[in-house]
Amino acid sequence: MKHFYLIACALLITFGATAQKLSKNKKAIIASVEKHEQALIEISNNIWALAETAFEETQSSKILADYAEKQGFTVERGVAGMPTAFVATYGSGSPVISVLGEFDALPGISQKAQPTKEALNEGAAGHGCGHNLFGAGSLGAAIAIKELIEAGKIKGTVKFMGTPSEEKFFGKIWMVREGIWDGVDANVSWHPSAATKADVQSSLALVDFKIEFYGQAAHASADPWNGRSASDALELYTTGINYYREHVKPTVRMHYHIQDGGQVVNVVPDYARLWMRVRDTKREGMMPVYERVQKMAEGAAIMANVDYKVSLISGIYEVLVNRAGGEAMQKNLELLGPITYTPEEEAFGKKIQEVTGKPQVGMDSKINPLEETREHPGGGSTDVGDVSWNVPNINLGVTTAPKDTPWHSWAVVACGGMSIGHKGMTYASKAMAMTMLDLFEDPTLLQNVKDEYKERKGDTVYEAIVPDGPPPISGN
Ligand SMILES: [Zn+2]
C-alpha cells in the first residue's frame, strides 16, 4: 500500500510538472490531435487497406486532401505534373511552415494486422514503410496548427504537402523543381520507426538509372553466329559491377534489378534491361561511382558486340541535418514523454520479434537523447533530402513497430494497421505540431534554424538529379 502511495505521488508530481511546462497553445495542440484522433486513425486505416503504390495512390491522396479541405484548407491537387501530389494551405503571411505527408505502399508485402505472417490480399502491396501513418500523422499536425491560426492564437501560414511516390521515382524532386517550397520558412517531417528520437542524422544520396542493351536475335542453336546477345552484355555488366564492389569506399552501395534478360531459351536475346542504383553518404562520393558504372556499360557492350543506352531515372540528395530544429523537437518529445503500451500491445510486439528471430524485448518508446550527427550515417535514402536542400528541414522518428523490426517487411505492415502504429502516429502529430508552434512563436528559433541551414548548405547550388521533362508517372 505504501509502495502504491509512493508511485501515485511520483506520478502526480511527474504529471504536474509536465502539465506546468506545457503552454496553453501546446495544450490546445494536444487537445486538437485527440479531438481528431478517431478520424486520423480511420484515414490511416483506409490508406493502409488500399495500399496503393507509387504514383497510383489516387484514393489515398484523395482521402488526405479531402479531409484537409473539409477542415478549411485550400487544396491544390495534381501539382508538379503528378496527379497524386497536392498542397493544402491555411492562413496567410509569415511565417510559412510546412509539413510533409507520404502515403505510398510497397508491392508484394500485403499483410493482416496480426503478429504472424499472413497476406491480407495475396500478392498485393502493403504499407511496409508505414506511410499510411506518415500521411495521416502529418495531417493531424497541420490541422492542430490550423486551429491555432483560426483561433487567432498565432499568425502565419501552414502547409500540408501531399508527397507521392517516395518508394519509387521520388515524387518530392519534381515538387522541389516546381518551386513548391519557395517562400516556405521551415519544413517539418517525421518517419515511422522502431525508436523515438528527434532525427539529426542524414541519409544516403542515390542515383537510379536504366541500362539497355540492343543486340541481334537469332536461333540459339541453328545459327547462333548470326546472333549478338543483349543478355551476354547484361551478364558481363553485372559481373563487372560485382568485381568493382571490392574497390569502392565502404559507404558506397550498388544494387541492380534485372528487368529484362530475354524471353525464351531458344532465341539469342536482342534486348536486355537493368535497373541500376548507386548510393553513398554524400553526393560528391556517389557521382564518380555513377560515372564509372556508366562507362562499364560501354565495356560490356563492346565485349558482347551490342549497342547500349544509359538513361537517368532520378536521383536524390542526402538529408541536410538541422540541429537547431532537432533540439526544439527534442524538448517537445521530453514534454510529451514516452508512449505507453498495453500488455496486449507488448505481447503483439514480442510475438513479431519471436517470428522474425529477434530478442523478445517488446516495444522501445523511450525518448532517446539527441545524438551527435554522424559523418557517415548509413541506412537508407529519402527524397526528403531534396526538400532539405531547399528549405530548412526538421526530422522526427517515432516508434510505430517493436524494436529491431525488419523494415519494408510484413511486420511493419502489421503494426501500421493496429494500435501500436496508431499511437505512434498521433504522438508524431503532437510532437510535430508543438515544434511547428515553436517556429511560429519564437522568431529567434526560426532564425537559428534558417542560419544553420544556410551555413550547412554553403555555396552548394541545388540541382535536381532528374532528366528534363515530366515525372515518370507511368514509367517502369
Ligand atoms: Zn518510408
332 CA → ligand 1 middle, Å:
23
Distance 106 CA to ligand 1 centre (A): 10
Q: What is the mean pLDDT of residues 52-66?
A: 97
307 Cα–ligand 1 center, Å:
37
How far apart are the CA of 129 and the centre of ligand 1, in A? 4
Q: Provide the whole-model pTM.
A: 0.92
* Residue 213: half-sphere exposure toward Cβ, Cα within 13 Å: 38
Taking the centre of ligand 1 as the mean of its atom positions, its distance from the CA of residue 88, in whole angstroms, is 21
Per-residue confidence band for 244, with pLDDT thresholds at 50, 70 and 90: very high
Expressed in angstroms and rounded, the spacing between residue 166 Cα and the centre of ligand 1 is 7
The rounded Å distance from CA 139 to ligand 1 centre is 16
Instruction: Check residue 248 and report its DSSP letter.
Output: S
Q: Note the pLDDT of residue 2.
A: 41
How far apart CA 376 and CA 359 sit, in angstroms, is: 27
Q: How close is the Cα of 414 to the center of ligand 1, in Å?
A: 15
Give the Cβ contact number of residue 12 at 10 Å.
10
Cα of 195 vs centre of ligand 1, distance in Å, is 14
Q: pLDDT for 153-211, tens place per residue?
A: 999 999 999 999 999 999 999 999 999 999 999 999 999 999 999 999 999 999 999 99
Return the higher-pLDDT residue of 2 and 103.
Answer: 103
How many angstroms does the Cα of residue 298 sit away from the middle of ligand 1?
34
Distance (Å) from CA 196 to ligand 1 centroid: 15
Q: Strands, DSSP E only, in 293-407?
A: 307-316, 393-399
**Distance from the alpha carbon of residue 36 to the mean position of ligand 1, in angstroms:** 24
Q: Do 414 and 122 meet the contact criterion of CB atoms below 8 Å apart?
A: no
Q: Ligand 1 centre from 148 Cα, in Å? A: 29
Q: How far is the CA of 259 from the centre of ligand 1 (A)?
A: 23
Quote the ligand 1 centre to 131 CA distance (angstroms): 6
* Cβ–Cβ under 8 Å, residues 126 and 421: no
pLDDT at residue 80 tops 90? yes
Q: How far is the CA of 240 from the centre of ligand 1 (A)?
A: 31
Dist. CA 130 → ligand 1 center (Å): 7
Q: How far does residue 136's CA lie from ligand 1's centre (Å)?
A: 14
pLDDT over 50 (residue 16)? no
- Return the amino acid letter for 351: K
On the question of pLDDT at 12 being above 50, the answer is: no
User: How many whole angstroms from 355 Cα to the centroid of ligand 1?
Assistant: 23
Using one digit for the tens of pLDDT, what is the confidence trace for 297-351?
Answer: 999 999 999 999 999 999 999 999 999 999 999 999 999 999 999 999 999 999 9
Distances (CA, A) of 143 to 88, 131, 305, 308: 10, 18, 60, 51
Task: Report the pLDDT value the prediction gives residue 476, as an integer from 0 to 100.
Answer: 55
d(CA 180, ligand 1 centre) in Å: 21
Give the span between the Cα atoms of 131 and 162, in whole angstroms.
11
Kindly give the distance from the C-alpha atom of residue 217 to the centroid of ligand 1, in angstroms, as a whole number.
Answer: 42
pLDDT of residue 235: 98
Dist CA 60 CA 101 (whole Å): 11
Bridge partners of 367?
A: 196
Q: Please give the radius of gyration of the chain, using alpha carbons only, rounded to the nearest integer.
A: 24
What pLDDT shows up at residue 18?
52
Name the phi and psi angles at 112, rounded to 5: -75, 160
At residue 177, the pLDDT reads 95
Q: How far is the CA of 102 from the centre of ligand 1 (A)?
A: 8
Q: What's at 315, amino acid-wise?
A: G
Residue 98 near residue 391, CB atoms below 8 Å: yes
pLDDT of residue 462: 95
Distance 326 CA to ligand 1 centre (A): 19
Q: What is the pLDDT of residue 474?
A: 82
Question: What nine digits make up the cell of 24?
Answer: 496553453
CA of residue 73 to ligand 1 center, whole Å: 25
Distance from residue 15's CA to the centre of ligand 1 (Å): 33
Residue 316, amino acid: I
